[in-house]
Structure formats: C-alpha cells, structure tokens
C-alpha cells in the first residue's frame, strides 16, 4: 500500500514496515513479498524461534542465491569473451 510520501507499507513475517525508495512501489512490494516468502520457508524448515534468527537465515539464503547467480553470470561472460577472442583470431588469420 502506497503512502503520501512516496513510500509503501509492506508486511514481512507478520510485521508491518514502511519503506521508501526511488524504485517503483510495486517493485518494492515484490521484493518485500520475496523476503517474506524466504522467512516463512526458513521458519517452516527449521523452527529456530526468534525473528532475528529467522531473518539472518533468510538473508543468508538470499545472499547464497545472489552469489550463485553472480558466479553463473561471470562464467557466461567469460565464455562469451573466449568465443569472441577465438573469432577475432580467425578473422585476423583470414585478413
């Protein structure tokens, strides 16, 4: 839900938070829903009790996803770079 100051109120793990940012409110809400989902997954998989522990474990899961995607992107870029260099060498051989 948007407020008059450009922020939105979201619910994460049963708590309401007002957040503001330059991003589209629906985008911020989508991110909040994702965090909420991750916290619920952590709580369901291993009931650890405190909100802080659940939040930290959810943050670790999200960070692991980020690192995996980052590493995969790097491997793709390196692969493209390798192919580009091979193509450049072939073009130089032909010229």
CA–CA separation, 5 and 93 (whole Å): 62
pTM, whole model, 2 decimals? 0.76
Is residue 3 in some structural domain?
A: no
The candidate with the shortest Cα–Cα distance to 20, out of 6, 10, 34, 31, is: 6
- Per the structure block, which two tokens stand in for 64? 């692991």
Q: How high is the pLDDT of residue 44?
A: 92
Would you state the pLDDT for residue 47? 76
The residue behind tokens 């916290």 is: 39
Q: Answer yes or no: is pLDDT of 66 > 60.
A: yes
**pLDDT of 49:** 80
The 10s digit of each residue's pLDDT in 14-65 is: 999 999 999 999 999 999 999 999 999 999 987 778 999 999 999 999 999 9
Domain assignment of residue 86, given as a range = 8-94
- Residue 18 counted as domain residue: yes
Are 42 and 61 a contacting pair, CB within 8 Å? yes
Decide if 22 is inside a domain.
yes
C-alpha distances out from residue 22 to 11, 72, 95, Å: 19, 28, 50
Total domains, the chain? 1
Residue 44 included in any domain: yes
């Amino acid at each position: 839900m948007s407020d008059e100051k450009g922020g939105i109120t979201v619910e994460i793990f049963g708590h309401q938070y007002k957040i503001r940012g330059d991003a589209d409110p629906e985008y911020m809400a989508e991110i909040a829903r994702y965090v909420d989902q991750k916290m619920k997954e952590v709580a369901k998989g291993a009931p650890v009790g405190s909100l802080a522990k659940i939040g930290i474990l959810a943050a670790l899961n999200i960070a692991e996803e980020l690192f995996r995607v980052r590493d995969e992107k790097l491997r793709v870029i390196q692969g493209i770079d390798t192919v580009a260099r091979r193509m450049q060498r072939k073009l130089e051989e032909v010229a």
